[in-house]
Structure 1
Amino acid sequence: MDLHLDTYKNALLRRIDPGDLDLFKPYLRHTVLELRTPLETAGHEIECVYFPCSGLASVVAKKIRGAEAEVGVIGFEGMTGSALVMGDDRASHDCFIQMASEALVIDASQFKAALDTSETLRSFLMRYVHAFHIQATYTALINARCKIEERLARWLLMCDDRVVGNRIVITHEYLSVMLGVRRPGVTVALQMIEGRGLIQARRGEVVIRDRKGLINLANGSYGEPEAEYRRLVGEIEIQPQIVPQREPSP
């Protein structure tokens, strides 16, 4: 597959030094990932690294008794396989597709070979891993200290940063997992935000109507990790083209 730098819709691939990119560019292949496709499984060896070009992936932490909550979001600004960059080969958490995605994927062995060859490649990707770590730590803080509607506003903004248009395909049940709250709490929060005219909630989707209003509602919970990403990695210059999405089951 002949891929040119100016055609990449993944922000990391666009910013990797061309010489470093040449180390694994021949092994990148295109894939389409359907809703709930697993990308990594906690405690298991990482088999592939995904560079999303559209859609969203969720990193989800689980307890032994089944409780789970999202700890990170990955879109076209990032990648999976952070553990490989840090020298490990096993996933700490589950990672799966939250919205149907296009991605470029490479086998973990080929990706690690490139990392071992180039210190500058690892150094650059470690900056992204650090930015993702900042996102995850803010998520922990916000989930512990903020109201549900503030957390939901932040989550919607994070999704809006990573998709084209203002339509986010998601069910109430899935939102409850993402926010680590009960489904009735999500329903009430959505109704409250919709009542303010900030969103339109439909069956299986949320349409954002007032982004600035959502930022105000987030009450300071949104923005700092995004600023750190810009400092560490750079501005997002090109929005990706999203693949057609199937409607999720209720």
Structure 2
Amino acid sequence: MVQSQQSGVRNRLLQRMSVDDYALLQPCLKLLPTRMRQTLIRPYEPVTQLFFPEVGYTSVVADVAGSRIEVGVIGREGLVGLSPVLLDSVSAPYHEFVQCPGEVLVVSTAHFRAAVDRSSTLRTLMLRYLQTTLIQARHTAYANAAYTIDVRLARWLLICHDRLDGDDIPVTHEFLSIMLGVRRSGATLAVQTLESNLLIKARRGCITVLNREGLVALADGCYGVPEAEYARLIEGS
């Protein structure tokens, strides 16, 4: 299925493009469903397609010496696979896979590069978005070094909540341990802490956000800086 109308897209990058820039990509944008844990980008393999999430989100995970940790989350605010393509480096050492299933708009790397080469405004938008992903990754490193697990969990839940329409976040405790870079027991204890404070409700395979304002207060400076930079750089506010 080819996406034809810019007014119908949910991806915020596509929404922010000029009509002319969107027209450069539109002929090759194909809407496809995604499934849980579907690989979109394999580490060290050439990126042949890029993905604009419409519904759901993707995890960017680093795997070093058998230790896996999430270094980024990409939802409908962004584009999966951009960095090696825009920077002409072919591949990246990260596994990018669907964490919350939904739909993506897919474009070939060749078509995307041709569009960016033709339009300086499209390239500028993509570079600004790339800057927001670097800020997110660096803030994640800061959070992992400076905050306790329960605070980091609050931040992570807010990041996921930002990329959903509802309050239910599909995740297991095992998956949380990868996302937070801790043992499963540590992730479970953090979930119990937030649940005891009535911030979330946990059940098998799902966490429901009950009190977003409370999560923001718990996250403190751990959450908000990358989000504000996205608003400034992409949405002009």
Give the TM-score of the pair, scaled to structure 2: 0.96
Which residue of structure 2 lines up, in the alignment, with residue 246 of structure 1? none
- The CA deviation at 1:91 is 2.3
- The CA deviation at 1:28 is 0.5
Which residue of structure 2 lines up, in the alignment, with residue 68 of structure 1? 68
Which residue of structure 1 lines up, in the alignment, with residue 175 of structure 2? 174
- The CA deviation at 1:21 is 1.4
Q: Quote the RMSD (CA, aligned, Å).
A: 1.2
| Cα pair distance change 1:52/1:235, threshold 3 Å | farther
Q: Is residue 81 of structure 2 the alignment partner of residue 77 of structure 1?
A: no
Q: Which residue identity is paired with 2:198? A: G
1:150-189 aligned within 5 A? 150-189=151-190
Which residue of structure 2 lines up, in the alignment, with residue 193 of structure 1? 194
Which residue of structure 2 lines up, in the alignment, with residue 240 of structure 1? none
**Partner of 1:45: helix, strand, or coil?**
coil
CA contact under 8 A between 1:59 and 1:70: conserved in structure 2?
A: yes
Which residue of structure 1 lines up, in the alignment, with residue 205 of structure 2? 204
- For 1:141-189, what per-residue CA distance to the aligned partner results, in whole angstroms no more than 9, with x for missing partners? 1011110000000000001100011000100000100110000000000
Which residue of structure 1 lines up, in the alignment, with residue 16 of structure 2? 15
CA contact under 8 A between 1:86 and 1:126: conserved in structure 2?
A: no
- The more displaced of 138-147 and 117-126 is 117-126
Identity fraction in percent: 43
CA contact under 8 A between 1:157 and 1:211: conserved in structure 2?
A: yes
Which residue of structure 2 lines up, in the alignment, with residue 213 of structure 1? 214
Q: Which residue identity is paired with 1:11? A: R
In the alignment, structure 1 segments of 5+ residues that lack a partner are: 237-250
Q: Determine the C-alpha separation between the residues in 1 that align with 2:39 and 2:79.
A: 14
Q: Which residue identity is paired with 1:228? A: E
Q: Which residue identity is paired with 2:15? A: R
Q: Determine the C-alpha separation between the residues in 1 that align with 2:216 and 2:3.
A: 40
Q: Determine the C-alpha separation between the residues in 2 that align with 1:106 and 1:31.
A: 11
- The more displaced of 86-95 and 211-220 is 86-95
Q: Determine the C-alpha separation between the residues in 1 that align with 2:19 and 2:158.
A: 32
Structure 1 stretches of 4+ moved >3 Å: none
- The CA deviation at 1:86 is 2.2
- The CA deviation at 1:113 is 1.2
Q: Which residue identity is paired with 1:193? A: L
**Partner of 2:92: helix, strand, or coil?**
coil
In the alignment, structure 2 segments of 5+ residues that lack a partner are: none
**Partner of 2:25: helix, strand, or coil?**
helix
Q: Determine the C-alpha separation between the residues in 1 that align with 2:115 and 2:236.
A: 25
**Partner of 1:102: helix, strand, or coil?**
strand
Q: Determine the C-alpha separation between the residues in 2 that align with 1:135 and 1:235.
A: 18
1 or 2 for the larger relative contact order (CA 8 Å, sep ≥6)? 1
Total equivalences in the alignment: 235
1:6-155 aligned within 5 A? 6-63=7-64, 65-83=65-83, 84-155=85-156
CA contact under 8 A between 2:155 and 2:216: conserved in structure 1?
A: yes
Q: Determine the C-alpha separation between the residues in 1 that align with 2:7 and 2:52.
A: 15
CA contact under 8 A between 2:152 and 2:222: conserved in structure 1?
A: yes
